[in-house]
Structure 1
């Protein structure tokens, strides 16, 4: 009996052509950002299913070499990559962790800014990119060039790279790990591309849902890091508070599924039990539902198109519960509206949007700017990029990696100048 590929919008990285692997297939996995939230959960899934996954490489930024060493020793990883860290310190920590487990081994090491890219180039079946920020672009491109399935949690690399990324991806090569895009990918298996009317991306609304713009003038970094449903890193949690993250996800959905920006809606759903939806042209809406955790999308990223057994606890339908849906307050949270404009422009504009945001988030947590300054500054930088003759003449095309990186650098410097930090 032959299988039929799952239907997805034609021309997208999730287009038809995904092959159905045997259930017993064991996959070699590379985990980029292994000490972060996505990476540690991915390794937990590998730990639960040793018959399905063999971890062949890990990479991390270097902020927690002890954890990285324990991961490398436990999974007997042959290649370990670190952006920032001392080789002697990591080597010693791995030896200590191995002795504690009664093992001895000597992985190959890579250090420096290209370390994660080298890890992404390793022979493997799946590369999970769980790095945060635009620094994930080169590892994403490396994994695609190597022909490896890319489980993509690093949305910034797709958004910043745009056509550079999608042009390198063969049909079915990119599997989204963001819960919203995983939900859309799952829902799209029920229909064909021509039957899709629109995508509906859900948002929690963040910790400041319901507040007016005036109310947001004096919120603190600590308050911005109090997400109602998820425990995440500093940047993505702050992005969820400003709704910049939802703006990035609209651009990501456009690129992943080849759906026009004006057919991608955002709705606030505070409970986050519905992770996103697909509306078909007959009026049917398919939603993927589940607890507000990342385990299912991460597991699917590793096993796509199969499902692993007992990844997460199902919803308890015997318990009374209310789910709400609200429109986005565009006055208090203009980031989504700005992202639509940026996504429509395409080219280097998403790179500028993302880079300016990353600089603003750092400045906000350093106490240098207010919460409202984040999106206001991103808007100013995008406006200035549109008006500026610098770097490239045609900003609506991402000509090559150098063009994208030049726009990224320009935006960071411009954001610092606007904020008076340059």
Structure 2
């Protein structure tokens, strides 16, 4: 089958790896969305010749091949004809295209965790209404999904999300002096800047906890995080009888991407088989050194728009750190302050966007 896919965020880490998978499988790419990397986007457009394309930076339509039209928005591309939409635009900027894909009735291969964190209940309501569905792309959620295949959900007692521990797992003791370059140097995964910084603070794992709750319909108390430096066990499920299923594999996101695009098939890949690691270590996360994880659980317990505030405050703070406006340790301090000040609002689409706007403005004031 010549499967048709749309890639939202095609020039980022997940997007470029998705296009690798499209080359392996011969998938037809019908839509592409990118940000500012117009040069790479145009190379992708001329290779895959999608029907529709959009970028947040200006594109000269004269540079597009015959048969490719320029859309007015990312949401327009997300709603175009496809079998699967890969949602890989980072941050809450990816929410509207995800929602458009859902309202078009698409299967969404979700790599944009912030959409599910901020609007999980709302997105599932619309997915039910429009006949859409989600399959996770994040390696941890893909692992949980794979462990649950064939298992009644009520048999799952705990979801165990693994974390590498990031670049600062073993030092330095004083994190206030670390630089963006140090924080971006993830020991195991090759990711974009936002996700890399989130991994260094462990906020990425906190967001993944909230995403797992929304994706799999379990309580926060059923989701645990374990530090696993080798990153070979991508996540696990402990069942009510005490047995554990784990999904293991190399640290190559193309495997999780291909699984999402080809599920339930497991076609071969051109990747070489890696040897099994000789040691697998697991440890508890250090919540004092990395308070982001506790903040995410707190936002999940408060509910309403608190996860929206958590996400927005973190996005602004991470950007400020990357721009050398604040120290590394100020990221979680800003998030904690805004969670304290967050308005107590139920989650609706209107309240979501109001809370997001308020949080970003207030975070900028604090910075």
Q: Which range, TM-score by smaller chain? A: over 0.9
Aligned to 2:182: 223
Task: Tell me if the contact between 1:246 and 1:336 (Cα under 8 Å) persists in the aligned partners.
Answer: yes
**Counterpart residue number, 1:243:** 202
Q: How many residues align?
A: 365
Q: 1:173 deviation in Å?
A: 1.1
CA distance in 2, matches of 1:322, 1:375: 32
Moved over 6 A (4+): none
* Cα offsets for 1:279-315 (capped at 9, x unmatched): 0011110000001110111111211222221264334
Which of residues 322, 325, 328 in structure 1 aligns to 2:279? 322
Report the equivalent of 1:82.
55
Q: Which residue in the other structure is 1:123 paired with?
A: 81
Q: Which stretches in structure 1 are left out of the alignment for 5+ residues?
A: 1-24, 96-104, 389-393
- 1:9 equivalent in structure 2: none
Deviation at 1:28, TM superposition (A): 1.1
1:351 corresponds to which residue?
308
Q: Secondary structure at the match of 1:398?
A: coil
CA contact (8 A) 1:128 1:301 kept: no
Deviation at 1:415, TM superposition (A): 1.1
1:110 to 53, 66, 71: 71
1:322 is paired with a residue whose SS is: coil
Counterparts of 1:172 and 1:327 in 2: how far apart (Å)? 37
SS of residue in 1 equivalent to 2:149: helix
CA distance in 2, matches of 1:293, 1:285: 23
Q: Which residue matches 2:43? A: 70
1:411 matched to which residue of 2? 359
Aligned residue number for residue 348 of structure 2: 399
Given that residues 102 and 132 in structure 2 are in contact (C-alpha distance below 8 angstroms), is that contact kept between their aligned partners in structure 1? no
Helix, strand or coil for the counterpart of 2:169?
Answer: coil
Output the CA distance in 1 between the equivalents of 2:62 and 2:279.
52
Measured against aligned partners, the alpha-carbon deviations of 1:9-57 in whole angstroms (never above 9, x if no partner) come to: xxxxxxxxxxxxxxxx33211111011111111111111111xx21111
What 5-or-longer segments of structure 2 have no aligned partner?
A: none
Rounded Cα–Cα distance in structure 1 between residues aligned with 2:270 and 2:199 = 25
Give the TM-score of the pair, scaled to structure 1: 0.84
Distance in structure 2 (CA, Å) of the matches to 1:126 and 1:165: 16
Residue 366 of structure 1 corresponds to 323
Confirm or deny: 8 A CA contact 1:207 1:226 kept in the other structure.
yes
- Which protein has the larger Cα radius of gyration, Structure 1 or Structure 2? 1
- Per-residue CA deviations over 1:168-195 (Å, capped at 9, x if unaligned) read 2248810000000000000001421121
* Local SS of the residue matching 1:217: helix
In structure 2, the residue corresponding to 1:29 is in which secondary structure? Answer: strand
Q: What per-residue deviation string (whole Å, max 9, x for no partner) do you get for residues 112-162 of structure 1? A: xxx211110102110001101101111111111111100000111111112
Is 1:188 aligned with 2:148? Answer: yes
Matched, 1:211 2:171: yes
Q: 2:28 aligns with which of 54, 65, 69?
A: 54
Picking from 151, 163, 177, the partner of 2:109 is: 151
Secondary structure of 1:371's aligned partner: coil
The secondary structure found in structure 2 opposite 1:162 is helix
Alignment partner, residue 133 of structure 2: 173
Q: 2:62 aligns with which of 70, 91, 107?
A: 91
- 2:237 match: secondary structure: strand
**Other-structure match for 2:92:** 134
**Partners of 2:108 and 2:132 within 8 A in 1:** no
- 2: CA distance between counterparts of 1:328 and 1:154? 24
Distance 1:285 1:314 in 2: 24
Q: Distance in 2 between matches of 1:410 and 1:179?
A: 32
1:43 equivalent in structure 2: 19
Native 8 Å contact 1:296 1:312 kept in 2: no
Report the 3-state secondary structure (helix = DSSP H, G, I; strand = E; otherwise coil) of the residue aligned with 2:14.
Answer: helix
